């Protein structure tokens, strides 16, 4: 058999066999090897509750080892869904049941589950400009046409969204989904005011557009609780709210959920192809949530990240002020810096790398980075979550030097 | 806002927004509430190594809690990939590296990852008749056209496959993928002889068809090791071998992998949308594999399932012989029973349910169940893995009464 084995199926043959979607997608983001990483939106490593999770796993296995170690179904462990539904009910003032929650392997997987269920070739998905690039590639992989709607410092602008939706309707290609992160948007950091939430829910209802409310950073509330969720404002109809324990417990868990109206949840569960997520993780997480350790843990995270946000904002004003402006975010992990006219984001990124600092140019956060206007060439995303205040200060002073260098060479 | 909330987005509106793929798919399988479940292909619950896994998780967290609890990348934990690559090298006589392995959240998720990477609308995927229905629905969800190629007691028939591939080529629509379970096929239980493996690898190479070798049941070897893998026979080119710890450790882990040539693995990693699986699970599994408990555990499983296979085969001969024939499988969890002419699988299923026994009609295992020939109406899949011998014997004696009843009423 193996005479021709080494030459069989060369790379060009594999390329030719790929699904058409492969060629449409940008690569996934990766971690930086630079000494000061202000690029990856990851939680602080020292805060991970390893002991609490290990004890929770022990309790889960003691209680029902066979249940924890056998297929748990596509929708996921019901008591954990009930916990999430109860919290949702309490926060949003709706009566949400466990049948309205489905568990996913991280919120990114939740977005993929939504895309599998609602997006066919050529379907329109509206996203903010900027927005989370992982969502763009997930929707595109299912054949979506991505249409951008601009953000300002307060997030998505309802009047602009209205124009986008009207235009789509006039062309006979109605949008199907609106993808939005109303709290602590990645990358803009914006928190959508309640009036905008109401206006956007009303607009989407009028146009028959389903809202994908990505709440990946909710919980990392640095200035008190955010406004009511769009799910709550919409009375639980026409919204898929995606939540996760990644930021409040650990990104390594891959335990997240989608809350929606029952008809939608049934379809999301139907469009699963993984025989469900790990019931061991679901039970471990629930035991941890019930331990009494979770609430003080999240409080501690808020204190920690608030300190880092404030230290980084101070350092940005001290070291970078002539070159950048920004609005301090109410939560999450990011500053979204606007560069002074004449400074280009990729040039700044390269100069910062020379100083040992990884930052992210804004260009990666736009669905159409080659457009003349909304292209992110005047923006930098700077992560404040992963480093302690002293290191942040050092990193940002180096970043300031990089800005100065670029400014002086382009002057 | 909420005056019209209750009436917003009614079920019919949601239906109209669904992706076209949703309407093409059969439901997922579900567990049976009947007292004797010979329907679900699940491992024995008492054999799950809960204590070993808990100790493994403790070691994983002690060694590197931050690594275990933070994003682990789309390809998964390298040392676990290296362990899998080393075993693959040892078994298949190839030099496989960790770059040739990508970790997935269960083997079903692996098949979905393959479908995302290679299947576009209208692409041809060839499967056995019968085959695993989860694979059919996963490929269909990505737009595949499923073409069946018949199995006999030894699995896929090379001459028939040659005709299928020739026909496709003549119509100008070449097949892209062949999905096959060479060991202990679900549902047929067949193990493909080495000559057939060689013939099928050669055929697929000739036609430029990639092989998806689903090894979900490999390891549950009841009559010694199976023949070499198709991946090994193909010299590691043009085959994606999907393996899992579900059957040898626990289905609740959702830890599986795909081994292939490097160019293919890179594309599979590129077509991930879940930010990777849980590194906590990867590290726990690797600690367990290294503990020295894994090999004797799998030996114990083989003894346990061999006893159940033999007890169920004896009982089938004792209680069901005039009505069913079967070839005893060399591994896995199933008997694939051929019903005597005149007995219909769904009628038999209903009669068995009246006796408290859940079995699965063959009709669910065919991509075109309405075809006149290969439709599974003369077949029953009977699981022997989940019950101990005495309960199996009781269940099969009840199943025999059901067969007798159906036979006497259709006589």
Question: What is the spatial distance between Cα B177 and Cα B209, in angstroms, rounded to a whole number?
Answer: 5
Task: Pick from B195, B246, B273 the residue to mutate for testing the A interface (most A CBs within 10 Å).
Answer: B273
Query: How close is the nearest chain A Cα to the Cα of B177, in Å?
Result: 9
Nearest CB to A19: which of B28, B71, B118? B118
Beta carbons of A275 and B22 less than 8 Å apart: no
Identify all chain B residues contacting A202, using CB atoms and an 8 Å cutoff.
Answer: 1
CB of A118 less than 8 A from some CB of B: yes
| B214 shares contact with chain A (CB less than 8 Å) | no
Residue B105 sits at the chain A interface (C-beta within 8 Å): yes
Report yes or no: B3 at the A interface, CB cutoff 8 Å. no
Q: Residue B94 CB: number of other CB atoms within 10 A?
A: 20
CB contact A194 to B (< 8 Å): no
Distance, CA of B46 to CA of A69 (rounded, Å)? 11
Annotate A268-306 with three-state secondary structure: HHHCCCCCCCCHHHHHHHHHHHCCCCHHHHHHHHHHHHH
Residue ranges of chain B assigned to CATH 3.90.1150.10: 34-48+296-409
Topology of domain A51-290, per CATH? 3.40.640
Residue range(s) of every CATH 3.40.640.10 domain in chain A: 51-290
Contact B112 A274 (CB under 8 A): yes
pLDDT digits (tens, 9 = 90+) for A170-192: 988 899 999 999 999 999 999 99
Over its C-alpha atoms, chain B yields an Rg (Å, rounded) of: 22
**Residue A196 CA to chain centroid, in angstroms?**
20
SS3 content of chain B, % helix, strand, coil (to 5): 45, 15, 40
Of A236, A271, A275, the CB nearest to B106: A275
Residue of A112, A178, A262, A278 best to disrupt the B interface, most CBs of B under 10 A: A278
Rg, C-alpha atoms of chain A: 22
pLDDT in tens, B61-104: 999 999 999 999 999 999 999 999 999 999 999 999 999 999 99
Amino acid A2: pLDDT:
47
- Which of A9, A37, A46, A110 best probes binding to B when mutated, by most B CB atoms within 10 angstroms? A9
Query: What pLDDT score does B42 carry?
Result: 79
> Nearest residue of B to residue A386 by CA position?
B70
Lowest mean pLDDT among A39-43, A140-144, B392-396: A39-43
Say which range, A88-102, A204-218, B361-375, has the weakest mean pLDDT: B361-375
Q: What is the pLDDT of residues B255-291, one digit of tens each?
A: 999 999 999 999 999 999 999 999 999 999 999 999 9
Measured between beta carbons, which residues in chain A are less than 8 angstroms from residue B71? 42, 251-252
Burial A2-22 (b: 16+ CB within 10 A, else e): eeebeebbeeeebeebbbebb
Please give the pLDDT value at position A3: 54
| Rounded (5°) CA angle A216-A217-A220 | 150
Reported as a pLDDT band with limits 50, 70 and 90, residue A372 is low
Mean pLDDT confidence for A330-351: 96
For domain A34-48+296-409, is the CATH number 3.90.1150.10? yes
Report the percentage of chain A scoring pLDDT > 70: 98
CB A123 within 8 A of CB B19: yes
Q: Is the model's pLDDT at B1 over the cut of 50?
A: no
Q: A410 to chain B, minimum CA–CA distance in Å? A: 37
pLDDT of residue B372: 65
Least reliable range by pLDDT among A154-163, B23-32, B280-289: B23-32
Nearest Cα neighbor of B139 from B119, B110, B109 is B119
pLDDT one-digit tens code per residue, B224-265? 999 999 999 999 999 999 999 999 999 999 999 999 999 999
Q: Which long-range contacts (CB under 8 A, 24 or more apart) does B137-140 make?
A: B137/A273, B137/B25, B137/B26, B137/B28, B138/A273, B138/B108, B138/B111, B138/B112, B139/B111, B139/B115, B139/B177, B139/B179, B140/B21, B140/B24, B140/B25
Nearest CA in chain B to A200: B1
Q: Of A115, A124, A119, whose CA–CA distance to A173 is shortest?
A: A124
Q: What is the mean pLDDT of residues B385-404?
A: 96
Q: How far is B14 from A177, CA to CA, in rounded Å? A: 12
- pTM of the predicted model, to two decimals? 0.96
- B3 — pLDDT class (breaks 50, 70, 90): low
Cα separation values, B342 from A99, B335, B371, B399, B403, Å: 43, 20, 17, 17, 11
Residue of B383, B406, B410, B409 lying closest to B396 (CA atoms)? B383
Integer Cα distance of B303 and B221 in angstroms: 10
For residue A137, the chain B residues in CB contact (below 8 A) are 273
What is the residue-averaged pLDDT of chain B? 94
pLDDT at B33: 82
Per the prediction, chain A carries an average pLDDT of 94
Report d(CA B255, CA B410) in Å as an integer.
Answer: 47
Nearest C-alpha in A relative to B9: A238
Residues A304-339 have pLDDT tens digits of: 999 999 999 999 999 999 999 999 999 999 999 999
For chain B, positions 310-329, list CB contacts with chain A under 8 A: none
Global ipTM: 0.95
pLDDT digits (tens, 9 = 90+) for A107-155: 999 999 999 999 999 999 999 999 999 999 999 999 999 999 999 999 9
């Amino acid at each position: 058999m193996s005479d021709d084995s080494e030459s069989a199926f060369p790379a060009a043959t594999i390329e030719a066999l790929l699904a058409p979607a492969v060629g449409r997608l940008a690569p996934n983001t990766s971690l930086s090897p630079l000494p000061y990483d202000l690029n990856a939106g990851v939680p602080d490593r020292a805060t991970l509750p390893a002991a609490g999770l290990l004890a929770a796993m022990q309790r889960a296995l003691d209680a029902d080892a066979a249940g924890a170690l056998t297929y748990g179904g596509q929708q996921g462990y019901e008591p954990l869904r009930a916990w999430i539904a109860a919290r949702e009910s309490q926060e949003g003032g709706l009566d949400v049941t466990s049948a309205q929650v489905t568990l996913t392997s991280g919120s990114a997987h939740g977005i993929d589950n939504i895309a599998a269920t609602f997006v066919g070739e050529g379907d329109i998905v509206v996203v903010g400009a900027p927005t989370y690039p992982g969502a763009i590639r997930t929707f595109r992989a299912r054949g979506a046409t991505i249409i951008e709607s601009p953000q300002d410092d307060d997030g998505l602008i309802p009047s602009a969204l209205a124009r986008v939706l009207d235009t789509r309707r006039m062309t006979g290609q109605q949008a199907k989904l609106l993808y939005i992160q109303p709290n602590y948007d990645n990358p803009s950091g914006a928190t959508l005011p309640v009036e905008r939430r109401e206006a956007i829910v009303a607009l989407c209802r009028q146009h028959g557009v389903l809202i994908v409310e990505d709440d990946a950073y909710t919980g990392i509330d640095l200035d008190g609780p955010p406004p009511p969720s769009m799910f709550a404002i919409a009375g639980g109809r026409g919204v898929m709210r995606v939540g996760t324990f990644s930021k409040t417990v650990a990104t390594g868990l891959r335990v997240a959920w989608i809350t929606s109206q029952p008809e939608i949840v049934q379809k999301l569960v139907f469009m699963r192809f993984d025989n469900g997520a790990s019931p061991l993780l679901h039970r471990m997480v629930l035991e941890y949530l019930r331990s009494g350790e979770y609430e003080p843990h999240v409080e501690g995270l808020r204190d920690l990240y608030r300190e880092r946000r404030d230290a980084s904002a101070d350092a940005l004003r001290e070291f970078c002020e002539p070159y950048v402006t920004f609005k301090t975010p109410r939560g999450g992990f990011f500053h979204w810096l606007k560069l002074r006219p004449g400074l280009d984001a990729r040039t700044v990124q390269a100069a910062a790398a020379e100083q040992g600092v990884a930052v992210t140019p804004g260009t990666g956060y736009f669905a159409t980075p080659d457009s003349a206007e909304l292209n992110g060439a005047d923006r930098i995303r700077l992560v404040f979550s992963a480093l302690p205040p002293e290191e942040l200060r050092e990193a940002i002073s180096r970043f300031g030097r990089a800005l100065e260098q670029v400014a002086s060479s382009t002057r």
